[in-house]
Chain A
Amino acid sequence: MPLNLLKFALSKRHPEPPFFRQPDYLNPSYEVVIIGGGGHGLATAYYLAKDHGITNVAVLERGYLGGGNTGRNTTIIRSNYLTPEGVAFYDAGVKLWENLSQELDLNLFYSTRGHFTLAHTESAMRTMRWRAEINKKMGVESEVVGPETVKAAIPQIDLSCGGRAPILGALYHKPGSIARHDAVAWGYGRAANRMGVHIFQSTEVTGLEIRQGRIHGVHTRRGMIRTSKVLSAVAGFTPRITQMAGFRTPIVVHPLQACVTEPLKPWLNTIVVSGSLHVYVSQSSRGELVMGASLDPYEVHSTRSTFDFVEGLASHILDLFPFLAGIKVVRQWAGMADMTPDFAPIMGLTPVKGLYLDAGWGTWGFKATPIAGKTMAATIANDKPHALIHAFRLERFRDFELTGEKGAAAVGH
């Protein structure tokens, strides 16, 4: 047993200090205001303080920390993307993840499991090959493997998928990981708070103060704050903030749902994704199977669950793992995914001077939490986009220079 557990038993009072102390009042002004206390907002606050010495920062969260998509996501972390720009960015992210528990001194349960994207069709195999080739070229561990490798890693899997969609192979990505989502928000929040960042929960931003194309402050439910730099990191709420700011992005919000089973003894040691069957699953360290599917096909700004989602998901999970038929789903939930046309994020400067955007994280942004925080902090501190996020700038839509992460997913045969 690790020694630091001793202190819990030996001390009379619970020896742990608060994670974050919330000041009673908003200061009238801050150097930087961050809207959104999800992983991205908190990480940005942390790196602003740590990398750039900017600690006069307020993070404003309308609900509770991590209560947006951060606390709803299924925590798959990987870098086997399709565009060189995407691969470089997410790979830098994975490198930050690898030491994050130690850096934040909080066990994030960052667990490297290996990630299989199954292919059930020839065209899916081609896409896997494409991703593998790009990844290898970029120095990221990805390879196309045959069904026998899948079987060796996941002996329980039904390679024939009940005869419906036999598995032809897979893209295997060794660094694929999962983590404990809430802890990521708490860890960044705690570390930022310790360096002097103010964190306010239950503090919704209701308006932006913009004059002559420049940000001057934000209005909140608890009063106004003057500032010349504002970051919007609000995921599914982005359209509301950009509406306040008076410009548009191509973001549309679709619900994304997930569900979780009762805890089981460990049996699944990898992350399994099937694009053709629209399901993915991993087993958390608590033993639950965490499962998700593709995006709901319509735009809705709501986190309501639907029953057909879980019916479809169940059916496809059983194609892969028929013996799970008796395993029970405990709960289902949904988040609001801020989707972009090219499945890449929107990061950087905006038409409003001093207003920065970190959005368009759709179904894939949890893995980017550390690197998005790091690059956005640099972008805010220098008022200049960080080199790694050039491909994600807002103007790419105007300029027809999309960063086609959809290229892998858009065309199915």
Chain B
Amino acid sequence: MTQRLPPQPGEWIDRSRTIEFVFEGKTYPAFVGDTVSSALWAMGERVLGRSFKYHRPRGILSHANQDVNVMLEDGTRTNLRGDVLPVEAGMVLKAVNRLGSVERDFYAVLDWLSPFLPVGFYYKTFHRPKALFPFWEGVIRRMAGLGALSPHAPRSETTKRHAYCDVLVVGAGPAGLSAALTASQGGARVILVDENPRIGGTLSYDHGGEKHALDTLRALQARIANEANIRVCVNTTALGYYADHLVPLACPNGLEKVRASKVIIASGAFEQPAVFRNNDLPGVMLGSAAQRLIHRYAVKPCERAVVLAGHDLARRVTLDLIAAGVEIAAYVELRETADCRWAEQRGIPVYRGYCVYEAYGKKSVEGVEVCLWDGQGRADVTRKHRIACDGVVMSVGWAPAAALLYQSGCQMRFDETRQQFLPARLAEGIYAAGRVNGNFGLEAALADGERAARNALGLAIGSDRVDDAGYSHPWPIIDHPRGKNFIDFDEDLQLEDFANAIQESFDNIELLKRFTTVGMGPSQGKHSNMNAIRVLSRIRNQPIAEVGTTTSRPFFHPVPLGLLAGRSFDPERLTPLHAWHLAHEATWVSLGGWQRPAFYGSDRASAIVDEVMAVRTAAGLIDLSTLGKFEIRGPQAGLFLERFYTGHYQNQAIGSTRYAMLLDETGVMVDDGIVARLAEDFYYVTASTSNAAAVYREMTRCQQIWGLDATIINLTGSYGALNLAGPLAPQILAALLSKHRLERLNGAEQLEIAGVVCRLLHVRFVSEIAYEIHAPARAMLALWEAIHSEGAPHGLKPFGIEAQRVLRLEMGHFIIGHDTDGLTHPFEVGLDWALAHDKPDYLGYRSLRILKRKPLKKRLVGFTLTQPPDVLPDECCLVLRDGAIVGRVTSIAHSPTLNRTIGLAYVAAEDAVPGATFVIRHQHGMDILATVVPRPFVGEAR
């Protein structure tokens, strides 16, 4: 049996294209443009999903992206919402979170057990006996959760864009359309967004049985299409409001981050359900859902409807139902005083001052019981009327879709007459229009949109609200001794759950939310928060304005991680010599974002030994282009460095190098490098690879504060560097020098090597004889190749990071960050000599003076293992003294040069003397004896 109506004017389906899809193992037809829910409903299906907790059958509630009880999965994707998922040909779908099928869900026994499982039951049980909790937790975890994940789902790679506009209009209903038009005509560039596939908002479904709304929509559509200044984004959700008018949009194929000068929020209102027993039975739906089904999808919501009315807009819903051929079994008007003559004139049985006491039916609604009530929740059950029907259409109230307003810092007030939260004080540059602003009628909404846009453009300070009427019943909630009158459909929360939670002292809105979980489900309280607030207000006898709302947090609708992530962006940096290393079979390691050769070839152990021995016996060449490189120029460049680093630089001879140590304000070592003075007011400074960015940041920060006459130029990327080390280095270099004589090469200078203008620094980090050569990045390859071909016949080898670590260890040098940690100060590593004591001030100096007076607890020493075990202790193994932790090993390696195990470790200060022994706790648990030896280790061999 199909409930598809004849073509409806303005419908969203394309009748020329019929497609098929599978739901729960059965094949269904659909039109292109259908949602899964509309297509199933058209085919007479009523049970589209199961509820989260009690596994009750559920159907269409809002058909507006809130029907989270109709969640589907297709084997790859999960938690897809049936009410917004467009049908595609060949889709194979099933409902999430059920055992068996949606029709026969074995978990439905939970519905019978529900009296055992009241609100918060899980806090009261399962923890005794303790040993059983893991079992119960397993059960709970399996029962909870909605969709099951597919580990094979692909990572999407959607795009991200930034956009700017004068006016962003959120919501393309009458207010939004009118606001966009007004703004555009006022000369503004406008972006207009709507989550629906088409613009129009209520105009596309709330017709009231007439043509007027559709005619208005068509006229507006035509005008919008003519405005070159308006960019319309449909299928697009404004995810939230972030500081400074940032509104990210979830578009069909990517993310667009909009910064708007002005934001007009015309996001409408969410229709709210009435709360009565079995209000969740499939067939019970919101008026707007019924209207959407009719006008957008040409689906008859039911054959025979009971309309539950709480305000005057219910009339329009009823007229739409009648126009669609639905028989109105009863018009149940909650308000005793409402004027229902229009209905009576049409022969509709009117029950004025009545409520729906309960709905009944097995898997979908088969009828309702209505009775008189007091307007306050209590029904007069002495005279109940049973009315058969296959649909209950609730039209009782609204809650503003004010999430973005709240997030923008708008203060809301509760308007008792309209029974709605309304903006009281808007944040700067934010405007509200339409239903979210309390204007429901078409004319009022259009006028409000225009007013908001004029205000935004500064054209007028228009008067505020235009609509007087309110459209929300103050208490659409009906008690029932047997419950199952749901407030929150996501979380299966019934009226009594709230009373119980409040009785248990969760009696303010935030605690109530957290205890009951109201509004914490995927629809984020869109249909439940307002009624929860009403219940709390009633029980606590507190005005709604005082009860307040919970904090509104992004997102407006849940948003896929893939969309938020976009294309992954993890830039990797390559040195100017990358291609050369590649051609010479480098094995790579990623360090501080750079790709660097760890060693050359593929056999790690032998490569390291070969590379180390080349440096010790002939020469080695390493790419150091990743170092931080800075020029400090100006009359006060030396002074700047003296304040920045611990040493003296103003009296440094031109053409010399000095060690540079950077501390933080607590005296902790942050970085070290070399300062070379190249001219009177020109210094060249290096920093370690991993700290290059941080050192530069700190330099510029200090320069901001000190305001010295010095300029800092960051050459880290534009310059490359290499190190030529080993006994044959001078000879190799000499062969490449055109003008210079070698003896003079001791400090730092600018000279020409192999035709390239370079800066040459003498740095004894890996070897007694070593030259760091810095040159513009584009010249590096030529330089490197010249040195390499000159040296190779003499035994020169390129070496990588791993050999470098061994070489510097043999030289006894520590590496900051490797042999130090976030608390190490210079005294602990024996760097007292690098600290000036006669400067007025430098970074960390004050702390150093205090630290100097304190006895040292531990010191960094060189050590050797007399009887190394088969497996060497790992770096970071502990150093123990009388069983207590005193320090740790920071570096350890087998030295090919010395053929023994050497390392650096922190030991108790009293043990920091050559010859002393200490205990290392090996990672395998045994204790190993080590002996303190003087550094450098290679010096010791000489």
Contacts and interface: CB of A to CB of B under 8 A. Distances in A.
B554 A406 contact: no
5 contacts: A102-B130, A106-B127, A110-B133, A155-B151, A311-B160
A304 B136 CA distance: 37
A315 B569 contact: yes
A147 interface: no
Contacts of B126: 2, 107
A4 B127 CA distance: 11
Interface stretch (A12-20, A49-57, A382-390): A12-20
A356 B142 CA distance: 45
Given A101-B127, A285-B144, A307-B242, A327 B560 contact: yes
Contact of A64 (B511, B558, B559): B511
A326 B77 contact: yes
A267 interface: yes
Contact of A71 (B134, B514, B690): B514
B386 to A, nearest CB: 27
Contacts of A395: none
Contacts of B558: 261-262, 328-330
B125 A5 contact: yes
Contacts of A162: 155, 568
Q: Give the interface centre of A2, A107, A164 by most chain B CB atoms within 10 Å.
A: A107
A323 B79 contact: no
Contacts of A121: 590-591
A176 to B, nearest CB: 15
Contact of A263 (B146, B499, B511, B591): B146
A105 B124 CA distance: 7
Nearest to A311: B564
B568 A311 contact: no
A411 B149 contact: no
A305 interface: yes
Q: Chain B interface mostly helix, strand, loop or mixed?
A: loop
Contact of A410 (B255, B257, B822): B822
A39 to B, nearest CB: 14
Interface string A326-354: 11111111000000011000000000000
A265 B821 contact: no
B97 to A, nearest CB: 8
A63 B923 CA distance: 49
Given A121-B590, A325-B562, A182 B515 contact: yes
A18 B690 CA distance: 57
B568 A164 contact: yes
A326 B562 contact: yes
B52 to A, nearest CB: 8
A127 interface: yes
Interface in A294-312: 304-307, 310-311
Contacts of B115: 8-9
B146 A287 contact: yes
Interface stretch (B416-424, B605-613, B779-787, B870-878): B870-878
Interface string A153-180: 0011000001011000000000000001
B276 to A, nearest CB: 20
Interface stretch (A26-34, A128-136, A210-218, A370-378): A128-136
B565 A315 contact: yes
B500 interface: yes
Given A14-B118, A413-B592, 9 more contacts: A9-B115, A71-B514, A129-B874, A129-B923, A133-B888, A264-B147, A306-B242, A330-B558, A333-B553
Contacts of B243: 304, 306
A84 interface: yes
A2 B145 contact: no
B559 A329 contact: yes
Nearest to B591: A413
Contact of B561 (A67, A164, A325, A406): A325
A326 B514 contact: no
B145 A319 contact: no
B564 A134 contact: no
Nearest to A130: B876
Smallest CB-CB A-B distances: 5 pairs = A287-B145, A410-B822, A325-B562, A328-B558, A322-B155
Contacts of B128: 2, 102
A123 B890 CA distance: 11
B555 A126 contact: no
Nearest to B141: A266
Contacts of A144: 923
B411 interface: no
Nearest to B242: A307
Nearest to A343: B822
B878 A133 contact: yes
A317 to B, nearest CB: 6
A183 B875 contact: no
B12 interface: no
B524 A330 contact: yes
B727 interface: no
A109 interface: yes
A311 B116 CA distance: 42
A331 B144 CA distance: 19
Contact of A326 (B127, B560, B878): B560
B603 interface: no
Contact of B555 (A285, A304, A306, A331): A331
B153 A407 contact: no
B706 interface: no
Contact of B240 (A21, A111, A307, A319): A307
Contacts of A322: 153-155
Nearest to A16: B504
B150 A323 contact: yes
B154 A264 contact: no
B741 interface: no
A407 B118 CA distance: 48
Contact of B145 (A266, A318, A408): A266
Contact of A123 (B140, B570, B817): B817
Contacts of B569: 315
A254 to B, nearest CB: 16
Contacts of A67: 510
Contacts of B52: 263
A126 B561 contact: no
Contact of B524 (A265, A305, A318, A331): A331
Q: Give the interface centre of B568, B874, B888, B921 by most chain A CB atoms within 10 Å.
A: B568
Contact of A19 (B130, B146, B504, B822): B504
B121 interface: yes
B146 A402 contact: no
A125 B160 CA distance: 34
B847 A400 contact: yes
A327 B149 contact: yes
A287 B154 contact: no
Interface string B491-527: 0000010011001111010110011000000101000
A282 to B, nearest CB: 12
A261 B145 CA distance: 11
Contacts of B97: 265
Contacts of B246: 307
Contact of A314 (B565, B821, B875): B565
A384 B738 CA distance: 75
B818 interface: yes
A137 interface: yes
A99 B133 CA distance: 12
A94 interface: no
Contacts of B579: none
A134 B921 CA distance: 10
B156 interface: yes
A262 B79 contact: yes
B508 A64 contact: yes
Contact of A328 (B137, B504, B553, B560): B560
Nearest to B822: A410
A134 B522 contact: no
Contacts of A324: 149, 153, 561-562
A201 B564 contact: no
A331 B155 contact: no
